Amino acid sequence: MNSKRSATLFGLAKKVIPGGVNSPVRAFRSVGTDPLFIKKASGPTVSDEDDNVFIDYVGSWGPMILGHSHPVVTAALKAAVDNGTSFGAPTELETRLAEMIIDALPSIEMVRMVNSGTEATMSAIRLARGYTGRDMIIKFSGCYHGHSDSLLVKAGSGGATFGVPDSPGVPAELARLTLTAEFNSLESVRTLLDANRDSVACIIVEPVAGNMGTIPPDDGFLGGLRRICDEEGIVLIFDEVMSGFRVAYGGAQELYGVTPDLTTLGKIIGGGLPVGAFGGKKEIMEKLSPAGGIYQAGTLSGNPLAMTAGIATLQLLKKPGFYSELEEKSRMLAEGIAKAAASSGYPVHSTRAGSMFCTFFTPNEVHNWSDASSCDTLAFAKYFLAMLEEGIYLAPSQFETAFVSAAHTFREIEKTIDAASKCFKLIV
């Protein structure tokens, strides 16, 4: 595979951008190579600056559920551009998209638009703290909720210890307000609550973990969190930035039948443009300024281009049979890759929730970060590079989710499975 121009562009980028990229995982460091620079994308494929074409399972890290450059979405955007790109004032588009979100997720009675998933989770936590009058929060090891200070924290030693900063620049005093539990372990949550009675404002969780690979919730885990929050007067926040409109039209809360108090959204609701949102019960949301005293603001929030792309996308997702067809493609792909690994004699653990899937390079089941972190990342790196040579573009990390889009045909899926069969044999 020729990547000469990408290599040249990366060299130039490193002179003016820290690490040469604007988000760390794009640097391809964990797979031991330099990143590809993408020039264009269409349907299920991306093309790099060296004119290599790849079947894409990154999907801009989740938003491109329709595939790239969907003609309906791009036509709507082209028309919207002629009306202006930003107003800093209310538009009908904001209300229309808000109504569509509320219609899709019954747990949301009111919604506030923002510009990113990080902004959504940061704002939801501030709202939960203001609503409850408490300062502490509980998150789960391996669940990523953006890069705000309160959330760049990992657990200390022992189940009930305070958090410590996971990045320089995060004040230890702030990190101590973040407690870290183990995903899929209600016992770890109860241990933290016993040690910090009446101090926890919210529990924030990815209902389908997507930032340590794809890890679905164990039976009873989400329902158990709901009961704990009801008993303790704690706000339950589902971070559905990734799973919202991805695993089902109503998100993971529809798929698993558990209702949070607040939900954060992003990715798909902007149709590929920068966007975020958070919403929930009216009694909580009305505490936000200017209706209430909890401040949150954003100059570009509700940007008309992002709202336009989001509306066009959600309208297409509502078509009958959309999710059932996507489910079938995703099942075929995930099972096909797992069978390819098994036939080669290489042990993997395959997980999937809707059109999110992951191949863990371990023979053991994966239920939490401890399980995921035991994977053979060197073997994954070999697999990644081999798949790239076969024209398959995966996320450059063992701990990321792969995404299937409606634009992937059974032909692309079969080609991907065939490529996986070849590549697993190279690492046995």
Catalytic residue list: 144, 239, 267
Chain position carrying tokens 């004040």 = 171
List of long-range contacts for 95-99, beta carbons under 8 Å, 24+ apart: 96/307, 96/311, 97/269, 97/307, 97/310, 97/311, 97/314, 98/279
* d(C-alpha 289, C-alpha 297), whole Å: 8
List of long-range contacts for 327-334, beta carbons under 8 Å, 24+ apart: 327/354, 327/355, 329/355, 329/404, 329/408, 329/410, 329/413, 330/354, 330/355, 330/356, 330/357, 330/404, 332/410, 332/413, 333/357, 333/404, 333/408, 333/413, 333/416, 333/417, 334/359
CA atoms within 13 A on the CB side of 127: 32
CA-closest candidate to residue 386, choices 332, 344, 351, 327? 344
DSSP 50-98: T--EEEESSGGGTT-TT-BT-HHHHHHHHHHHTT-S--SS--HHHHHHH
Q: Which residues pair with 46 in a beta bridge?
A: 41, 54
